[in-house]
Structure 1
């Protein structure tokens, strides 16, 4: 593990495991979590000989709790600083949920040769918010409820989300993992309330359409059809259609947090894409 300091003095915490000459796989976590959410995938790809890297977004986890910069442009700039500090070339970038938006913005702006492929899992692009041009999006009231949950009783809200829609534990017959719920809460409460509050706007109102159009490298778009956080129909198929070299893979009945509930399914599929 280590840290990188950005131009505005923010300290970004990261994990960096595996051979220095291994092909880098960089993981980008969702809201309001941390690099720890990728432990399963990091161990899986480490065992395959890759160099695995995951960072805590500013205001999240062990990175600086900054007063500003909780927007996609700054998140992408922080990743640029990380890639530069670690001298990453030919890297694979994998993002979940909000991290998928971060990946889209970063890859669209990355220097040539920095990125080999990308993977968007249950990701927020192209745009979550319902607008005149995006009638299938979610109403602003959905995201106001997220902000209200953070502002009024964040500790309880961060139990309710993983206990219900995030992992699909609210579905009949769901196999509930208390460990996943507790770990989600632990990661979330490490971060700053202001970062979590402002990041709601970043993940819900940022339009990634132009980012997706600019990306030249192959991109796998993986999404569960029972995603209750980022609804499938207004995200994955649209993102895949905007990409120059996009592959859509749908997972019937799987939830938003399928990387944690079904790693035995997702990890081999991602590995196969990276090796293809």
Structure 2
């Protein structure tokens, strides 16, 4: 196991697979680095060095009581990349991880970054506000918090069994293995950490962070994403990031790293190679 300890004494678990140009992956809520395994395997098998960490409070990393917010997530990532001294990286963020990537670039710039990708990502802002009328009502996130407190094990079965992978759509063919893997990753996370992270991914405004992107950026999103609706997310982000390339997967749900993994693997590899 590879463990890096931050200045705040938070232990971050990370995977480091393969050799070649570096690709970094940032995972979604309440998951961990395992959620990227298909993409990491594919790119590492095609000549890239793939790195993915478990965010603080998630997976095999420490579960600090405080600091479960985007600024800390971004600063933890910065310390890890500095420790590994990787340069000219391609960095991909899925869902909450897309917010982590955005805040990392917003706070630390692109001196180590060659290209970036936002996959089913939460930026620029998930929650509905006067300035963001297309967002989701805060009651949606209050409901997730209530479910987490009431019975988080059941919540972590209900989300992947339904909207996350689009298994609640007519004609869908749920995979119990995919559901179980999602549940397992969620339950590995800290209770307090995953609770706090709901506020972090839903209420953080990444607008100014996205304006600081100055590297080639790809945005990939399914247009049937029931978790992070495409209009308030990908299509809005594409307007804020200069020359961003928006790729829409027709009919695809939120969890495209699994449901559309062959297509996504090919697209990420092509982008990394370009």
TM-score by length of 2: 0.98
2:266 corresponds, among 251, 265, 268, to: 268
Q: Contact 1:96–1:121 at 8 Å: present in 2 too? A: yes
2:177 matched to which residue of 1? 179
Which residue, 194, 204, 210 being the options, matches 2:192? Answer: 194
Say which of 51, 54, 68 aligns to 2:52: 54
Asked if 1:107 corresponds to 2:105, the answer is yes
The aligned residue for residue 119 of structure 1 is: 117
Structure 1 Cα separation of the partners of residues 3 and 109 of structure 2: 22
Cα distance in 1 for residues equivalent to 2:98 and 2:115 = 13
Query: Pairwise mapping of residues 116-265 of structure 1 onto structure 2 (< 5 A)?
Result: 116-265=114-263
Corresponding residue of 2:16: 16
Point out the more displaced range, 108-117 or 59-68.
Answer: 108-117
User: Paired residues, what number?
Assistant: 274
CA distance in 2, matches of 1:58, 1:112: 22
Alignment RMSD (CA, Å) = 0.9
3-state SS of 1:233 partner:
coil
The whole-number CA distance in structure 2 between the counterparts of 1:111 and 1:128 is 23
1:78 aligns with 2:89: no
How far off is 1:35 after superposition?
0.5
What is the rounded CA distance, in whole Å, between the counterparts of 2:108 and 2:18 in structure 1?
Answer: 23
Distance in 2 separating the partners of 1:151 and 1:30: 20
Give yes or no for contact 2:109–2:212 (8 Å, CA) kept in 1: no
Residue-by-residue CA offset, 1:158-190 (whole Å, 9 max, x unaligned): 000000000000001012111100000001101
Decide whether the 8 Å contact of 1:216 with 1:245 is kept in 2: no
Decide which of 26, 29, 35 is 1:28's aligned counterpart.
26
TM-score normalised by L of structure 1? 0.98
Distance 2:95 2:118 in 1: 8
CA displacement at 1:112 relative to structure 2? 4.5
Counterpart in 2 of 1:88? 86
- CA distance, structure 2, for counterparts of residue 269 and residue 108 of structure 1: 25
Equivalent residue for 1:45, pick from 43, 46, 60:
43
Gaps of 5+ in 2: none
What is the CA–CA distance in structure 2 between the aligned matches of 1:216 and 1:225, rounded to whole Å?
A: 26
Structure 1 position 108, deviation (Å):
2.6
**Gapped runs of 5+ residues in structure 1?**
none
Q: 1:144 to 1:253 in 2, by over 3 A?
A: same
The Cα shift of 1:102 comes to: 0.3
Distance 1:232 1:52, change over 3 A: same
CA distance in 2 between counterparts of 1:107 and 1:140 reads: 26
Deviation, 1:267, is 1.0
1-structure distance, mates of 2:267, 2:13: 28
1:2 is aligned to 2:17: no
